[in-house]
Amino acid sequence: MRTTTAASLLLSALSATVDATRPFLNEPEIAQADQYGELEPGFQLPPLDKIIGIPDFDYVARGFLNISSYTSYRAGAGGEWSYRNNLEVYSRMHFRPRMMIDVNNIEASMPTTILGYNFSAPFFIAPAAIAGYANATGEVGLTKGSAAKNLMYINAQFSTRSQADIQAARAPGQIMFHQLYVNKNITKTEELVRRAEANNYQALFVTVDSPGDANRQRAARFGVGSADNSFTAMTWDDYQAIRNLTKLPVILKGIQTVEDAVIAANLGAPAIYLSNHGGRQLDGSPSPFEVALEIHEQAPWVFDALEVFADGGVRYGSDVIKMLALGVKAVGMGRAFMYANVYGEEGVKRAIDIMKREIYMDAANLGVADLKQINSSFLNIKKFETAPWGL
């Protein structure tokens, strides 16, 4: 009996060690291979009604697209630790579900006001370059899909479709924002701002997390590295200069520390966007979720001083809910919608519907009656720092 007990304890200890030290997952795997089988480039896409979750779009895109196109979206920096951490960090933050709560009106709390504009949900299509690798409609599919569901969409500077095509695809009155980089030539930067104004974008998201070229080894193997290297590091003086160029709100995309969040708030920024560029710039950079937690713990007043957006590895409704619980106003999804866009506009709409449904279900099971009232009491923050990976 004693030997058996000792052996059991040893096996349990070994099992715990393996669980705690196992490698990161590259992508979530939830029996997609069992349903779709092995897919090859150019195969017939599975029917959209067979797409169950956001990871399914990744699985389909990985099989359908040629390796260069898929790698353009998938690649991270260096050994891709930050890419994987973005995906898995949510598993370390456990929920604290509350029971006996009336959750019948959750859907009514889904609409979200972002920068003064009303959208149908607290998540959005994050800017991602070259949407045309997934589908010939490119950004047109993203524009039409977001319009149909009244979802916030930030159009990327490096688009495959022309601005004329994108503007023609906009629905009457559709609110859209635009992402851009600061050019080494201030005159060219001003030209980009004026072009965005002329195209009736309602806000500018300026990327600040790419002051240097990225060490994207996976991308380099297939010739799909950074889109452009004519852009430069942005300083706080540059930020003020750009704000002086336009009446549009200028949001800094790529904040990665509480210190920079505080500086932005003290400068009167209307909003900040927490992002590590999808883990594509600096391997070892923190996940945006961890940055949101850092702000929550060290400078919670920032969430009241300005609107905070964040992206990074979001694949489930529960990921969005965890971000919202920390104080994030709206949560971005980049790669997820690039993969959904393999199906064009209809894929984008399907992805939006999936996320809305998951947020509703998960919020109900968590005991959140109103998404706008969610707070960190629904999260086990104390356990986060010591939680083993993958649990």
Does 311 count as an annotated binding residue?
yes
Annotated ligand binding at 129? The verdict is yes
Are 348 and 147 a contacting pair, CB within 8 Å?
no
- Annotated binding residue at 162? no
62 annotated to a ligand binding site: no
Q: Does 314 count as an annotated binding residue?
A: yes
Is 369 annotated among the ligand-binding residues?
A: no
- By three-state DSSP, how is residue 242 classified? helix
Q: Is 216 annotated as a binding residue?
A: yes
Does the annotation flag 102 for ligand binding? no
3 state DSSP class of 324: helix
Query: What one-letter code names the amino acid at 328?
Result: V
Q: What is the DSSP letter of 341?
A: G
- All residues at 6 or more sequence positions from 337 whose CB lies less than 8 Å from its CB, including other chains: 125, 126, 128, 142, 348, 351
Q: Which positions ≥6 away from 31 have C-beta within 8 Å?
A: none
Letter string b/e over residues 280-300, b meaning 16 or more CB atoms within 10 A of that residue's CB: bbbbebbbbbbbbbbbbeeee
Residue 207 in marked binding region: yes
Backbone angles phi, psi at 332, to 5 degrees: -90, 150
316 is in an annotated binding site: no
Is 179 annotated as contributing to ligand binding? Answer: yes
- Residue 365, number of CB atoms within 10 A of its CB: 14
Please tell me whether 312 is known to bind a ligand.
yes
* Whether 277 is catalytic: yes
Helix (H, G, I), strand (E, B) or coil at 65: coil
Is 169 labelled as part of a ligand binding site?
no
Residue 313 annotated as lining a ligand binding site: yes
Exposed/middle/buried for residue 13 (C-beta within 10 Å: 0-12, 13-18, 19+):
exposed
**For residues 310 and 254, what is the distance between their CA atoms, to the nearest angstrom?**
9
Question: Was 194 annotated as part of a binding site?
Answer: no
Asked if residue 157 belongs to a known ligand binding site, the reply is no
Residue from 94, 178, 277, 296 carrying the catalytic annotation: 277
Q: Render 90-118 in DSSP notation, one character per residue.
A: GGGS-B----S---TTTGGG--EEETTEE
Q: What gap in Å lies between CA 134 and CA 145, rounded to an integer?
A: 15
- Is 74 annotated as a binding-site member? no
Ramachandran region, residue 384 (left: φ > 0; alpha: ψ -120 to 50; beta: rest): alpha
With CA atoms as reference, report the closest residue to 75 among 282, 225, 227, 210. Answer: 225
> 3-class DSSP state for residue 220?
helix
How far is it, in rounded angstroms, from Cα 87 to Cα 94?
15
Query: Alpha-carbon distance 77 to 136, whole Å?
Result: 27
Binding-site residues from annotation for FMN: 127-129, 179, 207, 253, 275, 311-315, 334-335
Binding-site residues from annotation for glyoxylate: 181, 216, 277, 280
Q: Which residues are catalytic?
A: 277
Binding-site residues from annotation: 127-129, 179, 181, 207, 216, 253, 275, 277, 280, 311-315, 334-335
